[in-house]
Amino acid sequence: MSIDTAPSASATALDATSGAATRRDILRRLLMTLGPILVALVIAGCILLAVGVDPLAYYGYVLEKGLFSPLGIQQTLTRMAPLLFLAAGLIVAFRAGMWNLGGDGQFLLGAVTAAASAPVLVEIMPAWLALFCSFLIAMVVAVVWSLVPALLRAYQGVNEIITTLMMTFLGTSLANVLVKLAFRDPGTTVPQTRTLPVEDRLPRLFETTITSGLLLGLAAIIIVHLVMTRTAFGLKLRIVGANPRAAVHSGLGVPGLTVAVFAISAGLAGLAGAVDIIGVQGNVRADWNPAYGLAVIPAVFLARMNGFAAIGFVFLLSVLSIGGESAARRLDVPNHFTLVLVSIVLIVLALAEYFDHRFNQSRKA
Amino acid sequence: KSIAILTPEEGTDYGWNQQGIDAAKAAGKAAGVEVVVAQGLGYGDVRPTLRELASDGASLLIAHASGYNTSAPEIAKELKVPVAIVDTPNGLEKGLVADYTLSGHQGAYLAGRLAAKMSRSKSVGIVVSGEPPSWNSQSAAFAQGVKAENPDVKITYAVIGPAAYSDAAGGKRVTESVIASGADIIFGQGNGSSFGMLQAVETTKAADGGKVYFIDVIGDKSPIDKGFLLSSVVWNIEPVYAAMIADLKADTFGTKHYTIGLKDDSVKLLKTAAIPDNVWAEIQTLREDVISGKIKVDPVYDAAAVRALMTSVAQ
Amino acid sequence: MSNVSSSSAFKPDIVALEGVTKRFPGIVANDSVDLSIRPGEVHVLLGENGAGKSTLIGMLSGLQQPDEGRILVDGKPTPITSPRHALALGIGTVFQHMMLVPTLTVAENLLLGGPWWQRPRIEELAARVAEITSTLGITVKLHAKVSELSLGEQQQVEILRAMVRNSRLLILDESTSMLTPKGIEELGALMRRLVGQGLAIVFITHKLKEAAAFGDRISVLKLGRKVGEIPPERLRALDEQEIISEIVELMFGKQKDDPEAVERPTRTVRTEAVPLLQVAGLAVASTENAPGLTSISFDIRPGEILGIAGIDGNGQKQLAEALAGQRMATGGSVRLEGVAIETLSVGERRRHGLRYLTDDRLGEGTVGTFPVSINFFLKQIGAAPFWRHGVEQRSEIDRRAAELVREYDVRTPSLKTPVARLSGGNIQKVLLARELAEGAKVVIFNKPTYGLDLANTLASRQRIRDTAARGLAVLLISTDLEELLSMCDRIAVIANGALVGTVANADDARTKVGRLMIGLAA
Amino acid sequence: MTGLFSEVFLSALLFGAVTAAIPLLLAGLGEQISEKAGVLNIGIEGMMLAGAYLGFVGAFYSGSLWLGFLTGAAGGAAVALVMALLCVRIGLNQIVIGIALTLGLEGLTALLHHFQFSRSYPRLPAADATVIPLLSDIPVIGPAFFKHHLIAYLAVALVFGMGYLYRRTQLGLNLQAAGDKPAALDVAGIDVIRTRTIAVLATGTLAGLGGAYLANVGAGLFIPFITNGAGFLGIVLAMLARGRPVWVLFGALLFGVCLSLTTAMQVAGINIPTDVIQMLPFLAVMIMLVLFGRRASLPAALGIPYERGAR
Ligand SMILES: Nc1ncnc2c1ncn2[C@@H]1O[C@H](COP(=O)(O)OP(=O)(O)OP(=O)(O)O)[C@@H](O)[C@H]1O
Ligand SMILES: Nc1ncnc2c1ncn2[C@@H]1O[C@H](COP(=O)(O)OP(=O)(O)OP(=O)(O)O)[C@@H](O)[C@H]1O
Ligand SMILES: [Mg+2]
Ligand SMILES: [Mg+2]
């Protein structure tokens, strides 16, 4: 009895058009998130026990060093900035039913061009203008990079999973080539771009080490959320995502919208690269690839492409990565354990969402 | 008080990370300071770890990876904690930033001489998994050593691929190709992938049907050797760290470059049973010449220059 | 509740339902339904959209399990746990929605379900199919990909599949909706032959005449409950008109004559009026799985309903899409109020007053997961007052949506309900509301009553008549000749992508159109 | 140049290309099965890692490569079982679970390696090759293509086996139906969930085998992150192949040849950064897509969990 709607492999089921959530709804959501995380911690704790590490001590450090110590929370918040931009870009793409899996390539190219341009520009113009221009350049480069998959999808119907994956392999190599051959800092033996002086980077918030990139990232994801849920443009994109044939039937310019989706999504990924470089790193080394996309993609799905929920999940990921690193060191667990922890958290959260959904269904019946 | 060392990978690689960690521990023990080890941090952003180690009271942060040489000085200035970084000779800052540009080029030169002496096929190979400066200088010096010993020995230089540090299969594949091109001694550099090179050497016969030998760098892999390890350019970083601690105490931190070399045995060639005693004796003589300056070995850090050198020496 | 079944049993039931109840979130789809299905009988199931017919079928074919009650097969209580189980019990179903794999050939679809390690035994199948088709009088292209077949052909394949599997009980859920009058007649004859061979058939339809003509026993569902059954003895005793009025009484609770036999109102179209829509020489290239159009020309005047008759798959959809701008025309002109619109986009044509009510409600007409309210405005996104400066005005949308729900009698739990959860008829009302909203000048209706129950069909037809009466030009595409005859001023016949003739809807229209459809001169 | 490129060297390069291609081939063939059946298996990198680790462990402790391939395949299948339970049985999001499994296996195998092998770095002896008589005597080609471990030939034979399976067996029809119109398969009496589960398990088995080949034959040892993105390449290969196993073979060989080309050019002294050469296969494919870009023929239900009777 299944009705064959929405032929695109899009996450239609997730897009029941965000209605106004009631307070109880939010509370339940929160519970449905914290509960599973607790379960995941118990499971991961068993692994820790198996290798002879006290899980309570481990989690104590994760919480302390990732969340509750002033230093830890600052680090966590700083790490969020690029992740938020990436998440924002993925939300646009996924809501519109386009699998932009090329975020890492777009991110790196944005990072490299920002790193190449910012140190030059700050010398010839006011810092704020220079940084603005660097952001712009990073964005434009990422957008241009996404044009190939966008146009192929829009006008040739070539599946974008393949093209974006390949463009990300290409982009990673190209970023390296650029660092090594085009933008290399002549002053160092290590192949890397010139370094943007610390004082020219994005200002830090108040007296902390938190980058103001965090605010930009928050702004980006909230704007994206509002545009996707509250505006005509966002609705058009969601229609393209949920039922492309309905979009054609309704007179939407699907090819144009497709290109726009890719441009926005890639542009935000490029900005993610720029905000990481201009806000924190200062330069790009050859072979640098943090591959943030791999963790952000599932987070965006778990957030059901809701911007606010995505902020929460990105925060969680940051806490785990900052606190996990610290805890691993203190307890002499290899740092790789953090990967296992993140994996278990993702799986248990996905399971919890499923059981929550089931429960609701049976309650209504 | 305490010092901390940060490494990108686990300190169990019989190489760069392990040598750094072991040396820091030894130097700390000698000086009576506690050593905090933060390993397996990857090549991403280590600012959080640097800040945390500093806030935990470390009075010296050793950022033991060229990838950390932007972030560590920044944290040093931000928190007024001394850091030591690698591969950045012009980054010194008194009391804050010290550089130790480690280069085993002197040792690699000797390794080249050794290889040229011992190669039956008069053909040797250099396999690297990437081209960071410290490896480049060794590749170049090795080639110079080979040519100085015997200009007729052919050198084959091959890079596995981008970001191939963990590409053990690539290491094996490329090494096998290089052996097929005639080499019977492989000078190999590459973290995880160097185990693939070692495996290739162990499982592939040279053109004459005999053994292929492997010359390693930085660490000492003899505990896991199966009889194919000819030598290694072993680095001992302990004197560097010891000097840093001393300078820290003497308030002269950040005023000098720390290096390693043949002179104090902080770079030395590993003697294995595979090296005949007469050859070893010749190498020891050459070692004296390098120390005394009779033989000059200049480090070449730039990848393009290394490649240029290879082509020019190959013809 | 009437239940006469037990008294007159000659043969034991193949399948019987006892007090079967099935609930879905927020709805009781079947409410303790009793049903007995006997060999040698065509058991017709009737009921409005959403009455629970397909749900009942779903339980018989193993797709769903009853929440309460039990199913007896050959008198033994047998939970039907899966479609495979149902097939093994000899229950073959032709579902309401197409159940063929479009990328496989007909033969491969027919073979689907065999032991996994085997080679598909095409030769064996071909022999078996030849045997069956010769008795049925149909032909199938065994080696054609299903995606290349017309909907009618696909339906034949599905019926054939149930036959190939040696079903004892054949279930046909709205299988006539895609067939031509001739095809329906043939299917009826086929059903007679099959029950003659001792099969049992369950036949679901919305057309009361078919029920009266083909049924041996008729059960009527309403809101999930069985509200009545007409046993064979009684059916044989009544003539068609009597049967229909009895059914209507069961379904709607009031006496009424054949509700479909509506007098064609004599509307007067001013023949001298300037045509609203002028189509000249319209051509569309054929594609892999769709016929093209060649030199289509017609005019429609204000207040006029032009019908397009023809066997399904002869270019009706292409015509509609080419007019609406969804399909590229390769030649010809389309003028709306004298303005050439053939180069305009879908949206621009709509702004000029052209409306297209698609026949594919879920596939392209709506976004199933979006709320009912938004689906009313899919074609007006960004327009005031529902959006201001691109920002959604939720209260404005809800206010207007509530109005439309009331005006068009859309039965929906709420404005927020995802539209796919509505029944087909109610989805159709949403589409009607959307297309007939302010600014319409020319409206194309493509099979507007396909799959709708009687009440919804009548309501939709009245809407269309009202539309024309308001002075709009209407193009009505339908495969249902009765529908066209009851509504149109003129009827054009389409065959192989070309209009083969146009007749005025006078007394002799039926024969003229019929002759055109089978390739004779009018 | 001729001196540089001796016969032995050329055949070693080609041999290396084939050795590098086999894991990609197995991964691509595996992914193809899942995708045909409508499951987008993003977790294949994790399955390969599990296969690489367990394959190595099996071969190392038993001393038998064949046992290693067995344990490797079983390891991949075990991860696939988790994926099948979560994504096929209960319909969780395939991308979330796929990525989570990849991350988890990366961490887990690195962790196990740390505790188990990080002091000893054990290595296997050379894999014994099955030499094909006559063919292996052909100059250059012979040693390059006809002196591999038996499992490599089996992998290539599998290409044709899969082709036969897809086009000539009921199971092939079932797989295609499960990807294109699962409901139709269901009402034909074939359990969609079971069909997809089988497909995912087959994917895991092949990916695990590919990982084991990579570790045991390709590298002769296991180190963390050894697969280095081979699984993602497998996904790309499977999608580009549009359901045709032969194209996976061609694609895998193209990538393998490009890797060897890197070495060849360096040895020839052609001074191009390895990054540029690595871009070649992707560039070639992208250019082909731009020039001949055809509608992708991915299964209609790819990525959509099947639930009987859902609407
Ligand atoms: N899978 C399902 N989930 C939820 N509700 C369902 C499902 N299937 C059917 N329903 C509901 O059950 C009721 C009966 O639907 P059913 O399809 O049986 O009606 P029907 O009599 O076949 O209608 P039609 O004449 O339009 O085919 C409807 O209200 C429908 O909304
Ligand atoms: N997923 C669902 N959840 C809840 N209710 C549903 C769902 N799907 C269908 N329904 C309900 O089922 C009823 C009938 O739906 P259905 O699609 O079967 O209509 P239908 O009678 O088959 O229409 P048609 O004859 O036009 O196909 C509707 O009232 C609708 O509310
Ligand atoms: Mg129905
Ligand atoms: Mg229905």
Q: Which residue has the least CA distance to atom 26 on ligand 2? A: C424
Residue C190 confidence (pLDDT) above 70 = yes
Cα–Cα distance measured from residue D64 to residue B87, given in angstroms and rounded to the nearest whole number: 45
Say how many domains are in chain A.
1
Residue D3 confidence (pLDDT) above 60 = no
Instruction: Please classify residue C100 by burial: count the beta carbons closer than 10 Å to its beta carbon, then call 0-12 exposed, 13-18 middle and 19+ buried.
Output: buried
- Is A103 in CB contact (< 8 Å) with chain B? no
Task: Tell if the CB–CB gap between B43 and A285 is shorter than 8 Å.
Answer: yes
The chain A residue lying nearest C94, using CA atoms, is: A1
Min Cα–Cα distance to chain A from D115, Å: 9
Q: Could you tell me the pLDDT band of residue B312, with boundaries at 50, 70 and 90?
A: low
Task: Tell if the CB–CB gap between A340 and D104 is shorter than 8 Å.
Answer: yes
Instruction: Please classify residue B251 by burial: count the beta carbons closer than 10 Å to its beta carbon, then call 0-12 exposed, 13-18 middle and 19+ buried.
Output: exposed
- Is D218 in CB contact (< 8 Å) with chain B? yes
Ligand 1: distance of its center to the CA of C449 in Å?
18
The whole-number pLDDT of residue D291 equals 77
Cβ–ligand 2 distance for C252 under 6 Å, the answer: no
Ligand 2: distance of its center to the CA of C454 in Å?
16
Instruction: Please classify residue C504 by burial: count the beta carbons closer than 10 Å to its beta carbon, then call 0-12 exposed, 13-18 middle and 19+ buried.
Output: exposed
The whole-number pLDDT of residue A365 equals 53
Pocket of ligand 1 (CB under 6 A): A 1; C 24, 27, 29, 47, 49-55, 96, 423-424, 453; D 309-311
Q: Are A325 and A338 in contact (CB under 8 A)?
A: yes
Q: Are D103 and D126 in contact (CB under 8 A)?
A: no
The 10 Å Cβ neighbour count of residue B55 is: 14
Least confident of B16-25, C181-190, D160-169: C181-190
- Which CATH number is C2-97+166-252 given? 3.40.50.300
Ligand 4: distance of its center to the CA of C82 in Å?
21
Which partners does chain C have (≥3 C-beta pairs < 8 Å)? Answer: A, D
Of C101, C111, C114, the CB nearest to D181: C101
Q: Which of C118, C103, C113 is nearest to C83 (CA)?
A: C113
Q: Could you tell me the pLDDT band of residue B164, with boundaries at 50, 70 and 90?
A: low
Q: Kindly state the percentage of chain B with pLDDT values over 70.
A: 97
Measured in whole angstroms, the distance separating CA D262 from the mean position of its chain's CA atoms is: 21
DSSP bridge partners of C161: none
Q: Which of A327, D224, D54, A287 is nearest to B10 (CA)?
A: D224
Q: Are A324 and A341 in contact (CB under 8 A)?
A: yes
For D216, the token pair is 């045991």
Domain that holds residue D61: 17-120+142-245
The whole-number pLDDT of residue C520 equals 63
For C350, the token pair is 């709509």
Q: Which residues surround ligand 3, an ion (CB under 5 A)?
A: C 53-54, 96
The whole-number pLDDT of residue D4 equals 57
Per-residue model confidence as pLDDT tens digits over C202-241: 999 877 788 888 889 999 888 788 888 888 888 888 887 8
CA distances, C360 to each of A3, B308, C427, C436, C493 (Å): 12, 67, 11, 17, 21
Task: Tell if the CB–CB gap between C369 and A15 is shorter than 8 Å.
Answer: yes
The whole-number pLDDT of residue C445 equals 93
Q: Are A87 and A221 in contact (CB under 8 A)?
A: yes
β-pairing, C490-495 vs C498-504, is: antiparallel
Residue D297 confidence (pLDDT) above 50 = yes
Q: Which of C440, C208, C433 is nearest to C336 (CA)?
A: C440
Task: Tell if the CB–CB gap between D221 and B196 is shorter than 8 Å.
Answer: yes
- Is C173 in CB contact (< 8 Å) with chain D? no
Q: Ligand 1 atom closest to Cα of C224? A: 14
Per-residue model confidence as pLDDT tens digits over C243-272: 888 887 777 655 444 555 555 555 566 667
Q: Kindly state the percentage of chain D with pLDDT values over 90.
A: 47
Ligand 4: distance of its center to the CA of C191 in Å?
22
Task: Tell if the CB–CB gap between D169 and C83 is shorter than 8 Å.
Answer: no
Cα–Cα distance measured from residue D69 to residue D65, given in angstroms and rounded to the nearest whole number: 6
Cα–Cα distance measured from residue D10 to residue D114, given in angstroms and rounded to the nearest whole number: 37
Do C2-97+166-252 and C272-353+439-522 have matching folds? yes
The whole-number pLDDT of residue C255 equals 44
| Coil/strand/helix, residue C145 | strand
CATH of range C272-353+439-522; options 3.30.360.10, 3.55.50.30, 3.40.50.300, 3.10.450.50: 3.40.50.300
Instruction: For Cα atoms A147, A97, A312, give the angle at the middle one, nearest 5 degrees.
Output: 100
Mean pLDDT for the stretch of residues D105-119: 90
Cβ–ligand 2 distance for C54 under 6 Å, the answer: yes
β-pairing, B257-258 vs B97-100, is: parallel
Per-residue model confidence as pLDDT tens digits over B35-56: 999 888 888 888 888 988 998 8
Task: Tell if the CB–CB gap between B42 and A335 is shorter than 8 Å.
Answer: yes
Q: Ligand 1 atom closest to Cα of C48? A: 25
Better-scored residue on pLDDT, A61 or C454: A61
Per-residue model confidence as pLDDT tens digits over B54-71: 988 888 899 998 888 888
State the maximum Cα–Cα separation within chain C, in Å, rounded to a whole number.
Answer: 72
Task: Tell if the CB–CB gap between D187 and C83 is shorter than 8 Å.
Answer: yes
Least confident of B115-124, C66-75, C152-161: C152-161
All residues at 6 or more sequence positions from A328 whose CB lies less than 8 Å from its CB, including other chains: A334, A335, A337, A338, B40
The 10 Å Cβ neighbour count of residue B196 is: 33
DSSP state of C194: H
| Coil/strand/helix, residue C2 | coil
The whole-number pLDDT of residue D148 equals 79
CA distances, C299 to each of B31, C296, C339, C340 (Å): 101, 10, 14, 14
Residue D87 included in any domain = yes
The whole-number pLDDT of residue C178 equals 64
- Which ligand is the nearest neighbour of the Cα of C59? 1
Cα–Cα distance measured from residue B57 to residue C306, given in angstroms and rounded to the nearest whole number: 88
Residues 280-309 of D with CB under 8 A from A: 282-283, 285-286, 289-290, 293-296, 298, 300-304, 306-307, 309
Q: Average pLDDT, whole number, for chain C?
A: 83
β-pairing, C169-173 vs C200-204, is: parallel
Of how many residues is chain B composed? 315
Min Cα–Cα distance to chain C from D179, Å: 9
Q: Which amino acid is at D84?
A: A
Residue C391 confidence (pLDDT) above 80 = yes
For C65, the token pair is 């399990």
| Coil/strand/helix, residue A211 | strand
Task: Tell if the CB–CB gap between B66 and A190 is shorter than 8 Å.
Answer: yes
Q: Which residue has the least CA distance to atom 24 on ligand 2? A: C424
Q: Which amino acid is at B280?
A: W
Mean pLDDT for the stretch of residues C150-179: 81
- Residue carrying the six token digits 């979130």: C25
DSSP C259-327: TT----------TTSPPSEEEEEEEE--BTTB--EEEEEEEE-TT-EEEEE--TTSSHHHHHHHHHTSS
For D250, the token pair is 């061609």
Ligand 3: distance of its center to the CA of A251 in Å?
30
Instruction: For Cα atoms C87, C88, C90, give the angle at the middle one, nearest 5 degrees.
Output: 65
Ligand 2: distance of its center to the CA of C422 in Å?
5
The chain B residue lying nearest A194, using CA atoms, is: B70
Q: Could you tell me the pLDDT band of residue D310, with boundaries at 50, 70 and 90?
A: low
Q: Average pLDDT, whole number, for chain D?
A: 87
The whole-number pLDDT of residue C177 equals 67
For D184, the token pair is 């139709």
- Rounded to two decimals, the ipTM of the complex is 0.84
Cβ–ligand 2 distance for C224 under 6 Å, the answer: no
Per-residue model confidence as pLDDT tens digits over D157-192: 999 999 999 988 899 999 999 999 999 999 888 999
Lateral strand order in the sheet of C305-309: C354-357, C442-446, C473-477, C305-309, C490-495, C498-504
Min Cα–Cα distance to chain A from C369, Å: 6
Cα–Cα distance measured from residue A280 to residue B45, given in angstroms and rounded to the nearest whole number: 9
Q: Which of C449, C396, C88 is nearest to C259 (CA)?
A: C449
Per-residue model confidence as pLDDT tens digits over B261-271: 888 888 989 99
Q: Which amino acid is at B24?
A: A
Q: Could you tell me the pLDDT band of residue B249, with boundaries at 50, 70 and 90?
A: confident
Residue D2 included in any domain = no
Ligand 3: distance of its center to the CA of C212 in Å?
19
- Which ligand is the nearest neighbour of the Cα of C30? 1
Inspect the structure and tell me whether chains D and C have 3 or more CB pairs less than 8 Å apart. yes
The whole-number pLDDT of residue C8 equals 43
Cβ–ligand 2 distance for C25 under 6 Å, the answer: yes
Residues of C in contact with A4 (CB under 8 A): 97, 363
Q: Average pLDDT, whole number, for chain A?
A: 85
- Is B171 in CB contact (< 8 Å) with chain A? no
φ, ψ (nearest 5 deg) of residue B187:
-100, 110
The whole-number pLDDT of residue A18 equals 41
Cα–Cα distance measured from residue A19 to residue A196, given in angstroms and rounded to the nearest whole number: 44
Q: Could you tell me the pLDDT band of residue C125, with boundaries at 50, 70 and 90?
A: confident
What spatial distance separates the first Cα and last Cα of chain B, rounded to whole Å? Answer: 55
Residues of A in contact with B302 (CB under 8 A): 189
Task: Tell if the CB–CB gap between A209 and B78 is shorter than 8 Å.
Answer: yes
Ligand 4: distance of its center to the CA of C170 in Å?
18
Q: Could you tell me the pLDDT band of residue D104, with boundaries at 50, 70 and 90?
A: very high
What spatial distance separates the first Cα and last Cα of chain C, rounded to whole Å? Answer: 51
- Is C164 in CB contact (< 8 Å) with chain D? no
The CATH code of the domain that includes A75 is: 1.10.3470
Cα–Cα distance measured from residue A125 to residue D265, given in angstroms and rounded to the nearest whole number: 44
Cβ–ligand 2 distance for D309 under 6 Å, the answer: no
Q: Are D225 and B166 in contact (CB under 8 A)?
A: yes
Inspect the structure and tell me whether chains C and B have 3 or more CB pairs less than 8 Å apart. no
CA distances, B83 to each of B58, B259, D31 (Å): 10, 16, 48
| Coil/strand/helix, residue A84 | helix
Domain ranges, ordered by start, for chain C: 2-97+166-252, 272-353+439-522, 364-433
Per-residue model confidence as pLDDT tens digits over C333-382: 999 988 999 899 998 999 898 999 998 888 888 998 899 999 999 988 88
Sign (positive or negative) of CA dihedral C383, C384, C386, C391: positive
Q: Ligand 2 atom closest to Cα of C425? A: 26
- Residue carrying the six token digits 């070399």: B261
All residues at 6 or more sequence positions from A28 whose CB lies less than 8 Å from its CB, including other chains: none
β-pairing, C339-340 vs B213-218, is: unpaired
Per-residue model confidence as pLDDT tens digits over A164-184: 988 998 998 899 889 988 888
The whole-number pLDDT of residue A332 equals 83
Task: Tell if the CB–CB gap between C111 and D169 is shorter than 8 Å.
Answer: no
Say how many domains are in chain D.
1
Residue A275 confidence (pLDDT) above 90 = yes
The chain D residue lying nearest C86, using CA atoms, is: D189
Ligand 2: distance of its center to the CA of A354 in Å?
24
**pTM exceeds cut of 0.90:** no
Domain that holds residue A247: 2-364
